[in-house]
């Protein structure tokens, strides 16, 4: 532009210089166009660089968000594993099946942190093999469910032996909700459930359900499976412990309590009745001429008779607090708390008549057995455990000596 201005001043003084001015102006325009293209090119490069920087910034933002999500997930896992550690420790302190079930339901409810979820533990019965509720809890409260043997969701888990996630029961084609309504009136929209398996043995089902749809996700089911793996061993240990405990206090043939357990309970009941100032009755029972019966039909037949008598005895004295046991050989005894002596004699006679009228078929022969009974009461006949047993045994001996198949009171 400076040379062009010089030519313009010169041209005003010399009119013939306008040609040079036009040429200079054309050259200047060409230069400006070149500079303009260069400017546009630089501007385009700068725009591309800005886009690259924005893209990198977005990528870094996404990576940073992912890192924060990973950190949050790790924190949650640390919390969950800490809670699982607490659960494992508490389960290790629970020996009985009742304590184990209660601890599991309570802790699982805490782990999921929802007040509106229901935690249900189903276990298979050791003899019948049927599924039944061991515990059910909503929040910190025990709940009573109508579907005691499970519903259509539990049947699905039992059949497949695979974990189950239902995000919304109303849209899940696998289940007919009409059947569910007939079994349980609770509103169930979402649930997670997993079988409890140790080795090749299925112990039961652990389930968490809610009335809210979409309450659970795949991570929740994965977490429940981890809980199930930890608790399955604890449940099996509790079942084994109860089985050993039962073997220690119950007779293997008749299923009645053993004498040692009876002696402990008798002492406890005497102390209790002493504080309450009430009566307690104790019965000693013995099968009449049982040795001759064994000699005639064999010891296996004798075992059949003992089991039959034990069943009658257990069914007859079945009120709360009453205990029957196999005292030894063909001798049995019954502890009747809060029972006067006159009523105990009446109950003993009813039992004696039931045994007398019972027909037992052995080797295609109809056979009958009879029983003699001795009755003693606290505190009238004895103030201590040993004294009460002695008086009842003495009354039993008198029943034997005076003709058998009778009841005698101390």
Place of tokens 């027909």: 359
Question: pLDDT digits over 51-84, tens only?
Answer: 888 888 888 888 878 777 766 665 656 556 666 7
The pLDDT, as a whole number, for residue 182 is: 56
d(CA 315, CA 407): 19
Q: What is the mean pLDDT of the chain?
A: 83
pLDDT band at residue 103, thresholds of 50, 70 and 90?
Answer: confident
- Are 352 and 313 within 8 A, CB to CB? no
Give the predicted TM-score (pTM) of the model. 0.57
What kind and span of H or E run contains 136?
Answer: strand 131-138
Count Cα neighbours of 250 within 13 Å in the Cβ-side half-sphere. Answer: 14
Question: pLDDT digits over 391-402, tens only?
Answer: 999 999 999 999
- Are 322 and 335 within 8 A, CB to CB? yes
List, in sequence order, every residue forming a beta bridge with 407; answer none if it has no partner. Answer: 373
- Tokens found for residue 279: 């009566």
Question: pLDDT digits over 205-221, tens only?
Answer: 999 999 889 888 898 89
- Are 119 and 105 within 8 A, CB to CB? yes
What is the mean pLDDT of the segment spanning 180-195?
78
DSSP 298-350: -HHHHHHHHHHHHHHHHHHS-STT-EEEEEETTEEEEEEET--HHHHHHHHHH
Task: Return the percentage of the chain with pLDDT > 70, whole number.
Answer: 89
- Domains present along the chain, CATH in parentheses: 2-67 (no CATH), 98-246 (3.30.450.40), 257-409 (3.30.70.270)
Q: In what order do the strands lie in the sheet with 331-337?
A: 257-258, 323-328, 331-337, 280-287, 371-378, 407-409
pLDDT band at residue 138, thresholds of 50, 70 and 90?
Answer: confident
- Are 281 and 377 within 8 A, CB to CB? yes
What is the mean pLDDT of the segment spanning 242-252?
79
pLDDT band at residue 19, thresholds of 50, 70 and 90?
Answer: low
């Amino acid at each position: 532009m400076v040379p062009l201005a010089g030519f313009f001043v010169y041209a005003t003084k010399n009119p013939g210089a306008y040609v040079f001015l036009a040429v200079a102006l054309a050259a200047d325009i060409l230069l400006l166009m070149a500079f303009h293209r260069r400017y546009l090119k630089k501007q385009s490069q700068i725009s591309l660089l800005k886009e690259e920087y924005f893209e990198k910034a977005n990528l870094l933002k996404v990576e940073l968000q992912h890192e924060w999500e990973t950190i949050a997930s790790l924190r949650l896992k640390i919390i969950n594993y800490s809670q699982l550690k607490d659960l494992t420790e508490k389960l290790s302190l629970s020996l009985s099946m009742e304590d184990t079930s209660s601890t599991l339901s309570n802790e699982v409810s805490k782990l999921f942190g929802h007040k509106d979820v229901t935690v249900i533990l189903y276990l298979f019965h050791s003899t019948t093999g049927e599924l039944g509720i061991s515990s059910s809890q909503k929040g910190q409260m025990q709940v009573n469910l109508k579907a005691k043997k499970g519903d259509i969701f539990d049947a699905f888990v039992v059949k497949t032996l695979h974990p189950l996630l239902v995000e919304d029961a109303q849209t899940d084609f696998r289940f007919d909700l009409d059947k569910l309504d007939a079994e349980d009136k609770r509103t169930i929209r979402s649930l997670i459930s997993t079988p409890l398996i140790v080795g090749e043995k299925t112990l039961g089902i652990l389930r968490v359900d809610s009335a809210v749809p979409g309450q659970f996700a795949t991570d929740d089911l994965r977490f429940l499976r981890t809980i199930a793996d930890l608790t399955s061993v604890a449940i099996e240990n509790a079942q084994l412990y109860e089985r050993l405990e039962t073997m220690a206090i119950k007779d293997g043939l008749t299923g009645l309590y053993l004498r040692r357990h009876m002696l402990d309970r008798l002492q406890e009941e005497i102390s209790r009745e002493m504080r309450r100032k009430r009566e307690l009755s104790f019965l000693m029972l013995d099968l009449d001429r049982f040795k001759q019966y064994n000699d005639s039909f064999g010891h296996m037949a004798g075992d059949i008779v003992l089991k039959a008598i034990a069943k009658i005895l257990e069914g007859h004295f079945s009120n709360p607090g009453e205990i029957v046991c196999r005292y030894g050989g063909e001798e049995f005894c019954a502890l009747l708390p809060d029972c006067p002596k006159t009523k105990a004699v009446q109950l003993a006679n009813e039992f004696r008549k039931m045994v007398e009228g019972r027909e037992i078929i052995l080797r295609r022969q109809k056979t009958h057995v009879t029983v003699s009974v001795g009755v003693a009461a606290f505190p009238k006949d004895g103030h201590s455990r040993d004294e009460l047993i002695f008086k009842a045994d003495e009354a039993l001996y008198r029943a034997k000596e005076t003709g058998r198949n009778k009841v005698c009171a101390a």
